Structure 1
Amino acid sequence: MKLFYIQSTVDGVNKVKNYLDDHYVGISWSVLGDLEQVSMDCVAEQLERRYELIGGELSEAVETVHTFVNLIEDGDYVVMKDEEWMYIGDVGDYYYDDSIGTSDDLICHRRGVTWLGRVPLEEINEHMQILLSESKFIAQFMLPVTQAQLDQALRGTEGAAGTALTETTELAAIDKLTGNLLARVEQTTINTALEILERALQSENEQIRVHAAAAILQYAKS
């Protein structure tokens, strides 16, 4: 498991709200098309031809594409920041979404993200401070991920310090429980999972109630 920092401003536009609301992160150069099976030599050629990038700018762009498309993997962690917060997410697979066009103001190269929470910038440790000061568009945390102390940071902001664990995390937990149920794990684990799902049915959040109900129904049908 790896950890990456990604800039939240793309072509001068802050994307934090979009990324949080729509559960993804991305990079620009949308007109390049789907890059999943494209060689970096081809990417370099297209960046030079379509965006007139040369020298250091070209090398940096190719590195960004390579990192985003090839080095980041499903299950890695990603962080981004705004003026006050660092946001932490569990990143998914690369995909290309050109459903609303490929103009330069759109983000078509994407990775889905399950946002786990947020931490005030002043409360992150010195290793993460260094990572978040990187000038690269995407930077990898080169120490063991445990050195980032993300779990401790999220627990530390729960409650009075702000909403650290979002409802997205609750939904992801429900999905995980559903998977456990369908895998026919030990009966005691199934009973525990069902109790958690039943409590989720009482949530004030309608989306969580619906998600829990669907999970229970799916198990009942299996």
Structure 2
Amino acid sequence: MNLFHIQSTLQGINWTTSFLENNFIGIAWAGIGDLEREPPEEWKQQLIQRYGIGEAELTQVLETLHTFVYIMQDGDYVLVDDDEWTYVGDLGDYFYDDSNGTRAETICHRRGVTWLGRIPLMELNDKVRALRSHHSIIAKFEHPISQAQLDPWLSVTRMKTDKEGSHFAVRVDEGTMKEALEVLKEALHSEDADLRVRAAAAILQYAKS
């Protein structure tokens, strides 16, 4: 499993709300066709003809397209941001959607996302902050995903939508979670075998959630 960060402001439009509400992420350069059906050489020709992209920018754009279609995989994690939060999602497959047209400001190249939770920006560790600050439209986390330290947040947060459609996270107080885990750890050393088994099962369930 890999972790990616994707910029959500494309062609001057901030897509974060749309990504969250409609459960997808996407990249620009609409109108060059379904990237899974066209060879990379055709991508190049379409980018030049439709957008007039020069050689200096072309290599970077082609790399972004390749990453989005072929490097990202179903089951990888992705991060998008707003001014206060980083949102964590589980990626689905690539698909091409030109139902809203192929104007430059539309998003045709998409991947479905199941949003798992959100993390305050101030709580991100240095490695994830470095990922977020990368200049690329899509940046890959170059460490084991465990070093992103996302799991403690995802296990106690789930994306919800209120009646007005706003996204928020339901979260158990972190201090309470730590206290509960300490209790379970102490129970692992109990003389009661049944209690030890239940404590171990609870910790394993927490780790998987």
Amino acid at match of 1:131: L
SS, match of residue 88 in structure 2: strand
1:22 Cα offset (Å):
0.2
Query: 1:123·1:153 contact (CA, 8 Å) conserved in 2?
Result: no
Structure 1 equivalent of residue 11 of structure 2: 11
Counting aligned pairs with the same residue, the percent is 48
Structure 1 equivalent of residue 76 of structure 2: 76
SS, match of residue 134 in structure 2: coil
Q: Which has the higher helix share?
A: 1
Structure 1 equivalent of residue 48 of structure 2: 48
SS, match of residue 75 in structure 2: coil
Cα distance in 2 for partners of 1:106, 1:37 equals: 20
SS, match of residue 32 in structure 1: coil
Cα distance in 2 for partners of 1:93, 1:18 equals: 18
Query: 1:124·1:153 contact (CA, 8 Å) conserved in 2?
Result: no
Cα distance in 1 for partners of 2:14, 2:98 equals: 20
Query: 2:34·2:109 contact (CA, 8 Å) conserved in 1?
Result: yes
Q: Which has the higher strand share?
A: 2
Query: 1:76·1:90 contact (CA, 8 Å) conserved in 2?
Result: yes
1:40 Cα offset (Å):
1.7
1:43 Cα offset (Å):
0.9
Structure 1 residue ranges, 4+ long, deviating more than 6 angstroms after superposition: none
Q: CA RMSD in A?
A: 1.3
1:152 Cα offset (Å):
1.8
1:100 Cα offset (Å):
2.0
Does residue 166 in structure 1 map to residue 159 in structure 2?
Answer: yes
Structure 2 equivalent of residue 61 of structure 1: 61
Cα distance in 2 for partners of 1:38, 1:118 equals: 35
1:35 Cα offset (Å):
0.8
**Map of 1:1-222 to 2, 5 A cutoff?**
1-155=1-155, 158=156, 164-167=157-160
TM-score (normalizing by structure 2): 0.74
TM-score (normalizing by structure 1): 0.70
Amino acid at match of 1:152: P
Segments of structure 2 that go 5 or more residues without pairing to the other structure are: 162-209
Query: 2:117·2:153 contact (CA, 8 Å) conserved in 1?
Result: no
SS, match of residue 147 in structure 1: helix
